Structure formats: C-alpha cells, structure tokens
Amino acid sequence: MILSKKTPQFNHIAIIMDGNGRWAKKHSLSKKEGHKAGIENAIDLIKKTSNQNLTKNLTLYVFSTENWLRPLSEVRALFELIESTYKAFQNLALIENISINHLGRTKKIPKKTLGIINETIKITNNNNGLILNLAFNYGGRSEIIDAINKQKKIKSEISEKNFSKLFYNPKLPDPEIIIRTGGDIRLSNFLLWQSAYSELFFVKTLWPDFKIFNLHKIINAFNIRKRNFGK
C-alpha cells in the first residue's frame, strides 16, 4: 500500500490495541505470549510511524482503569511485561528521537513501575521527534472527573478551552484518527472528550497482526472522508 501524495502530517493518531488474547488463542499460546506479541508489534509500528513522519503524536491505549478488574494473575503478568515494555520503548525513543509521555492516573501503579515510567519520561524529555503518549491506567471518565476536581479548586468560569487545560496532557491535540483493532465497535472509555470529531476506524485485524500497511490504508480512507465539524 502506497500512501496518497495528499497524506497530511497528522497532529494526533490514537490506537486502541485490542485482540492480543484472541491472537494468542488462535495460535495456541498463553495470554502472556499474546500480550508480548502485541508489545513487539507496537514497537515495530512506533518505529515505522516515526520514520515515515506520519503524525506528531501517537497515543497507544496500554492499560485502562477497567483492566484492574481482570484476574489478578493476568494483571500481574501484564505489569511484568509493562515494566520491560517501558525499557524497550525507552531504548527505541533514544534511537529514534521520540519523547514519551504518561497519559493517565498514577494512583494504584506500583512504585517500581511508576519509577520506570518517570525515568522514561525524564530521559526522553528533550527529544523532538514523534511524541508517544502511553495511555496507562487511563480512563476517559476518570480524566474528566479529575479535571472537574481541579476546576473546583480554581473556581473560575468553565469553558471548553480552559477545562481541557486541566486534562492529563493539556498540550495533546484532539486526534484526527482513532483506530480500534480486534473487531469490536466501541471506544471503551478512551479519549471520550477528545474524540468529539475524530474519525473512527474499527478493523477486524487483531493487534499483533496490525502492520504499517494497515495504517496506510486507514490514512488513505481518512483522506477521502469529508469532515464538516457540525457545519
């Protein structure tokens, strides 16, 4: 798949990486192996997205506030992978000039994991290439509630502009494109405020099988959509 010459430099592409468990089952592997394959695929896609200069911001839905409800053994396995994942992302970021941001609550995150996250943010802070936002312990409703609680302390008049400044990353532009892999057609509490006028793409491809050419196809489909923004 070759991108159209009209392909813009996007401000923000966001992805709900779904289907790791089903991919593992399909290949007779454990869920942990499925998550591992998903991480490896994420690293490959981040690198190629950065090299091709497709977007300024790339946000990946890593772990939601609802994922704590999964079986304890699965959550523990996920956190073991997440710690090594941040190290891998850190190494990739230093090579590819990528800066990494945390998007989500820090409450409940184990001290060791939080230390790795903070270290990764600090080490990559001065990089000026792709901005990788890792939505970890993130929920759209939680973000809005947390912003409301901040607003109470400020006691200023609420407007869309000043309210959005209270979000986890006030500088993050609304995504032009939100992609969900794995076949389900829902946002699952992801970027609820920011997705108001995003173009949504739901694909059946399981996350470990979602490659750069799949992203190219979506970008080309985006380019032929007419965006009216309510006008």
SS3 98: coil
User: Which residue do the tokens 């990353």 mark?
Assistant: 169
Q: Is 18 one of the catalytic residues?
A: yes
Q: Is 214 one of the catalytic residues?
A: no
CA-nearest of 109, 116, 132 to 83 is 116
Report how far residue 71's alpha carbon sits from residue 31's, in angstroms, rounded to the nearest whole number: 12
Q: How, if at all, do strands 99-103 and 10-16 pair? A: unpaired
Report how far residue 72's alpha carbon sits from residue 159's, in angstroms, rounded to the nearest whole number: 41
DSSP state for residue 7 in the 8-state scheme: -
Q: Which helix (H) or strand (E) holds 78?
A: helix 72-96
Strand 199-202: give its sheet, edge to edge. 99-103, 131-138, 55-64, 10-16, 177-180, 199-202
- The total number of residues shown for the chain amounts to 231
User: Could you say which of 11, 67, 127, 169 is catalytic?
Assistant: 67
The Cβ-side half-sphere exposure at 56, using a 13 Å CA radius, reads: 12
Q: Bridge partners of 58? A: 13, 132
User: Which residue do the tokens 């992978």 mark?
Assistant: 81
Q: Catalytic residues, which ones? A: 18, 67
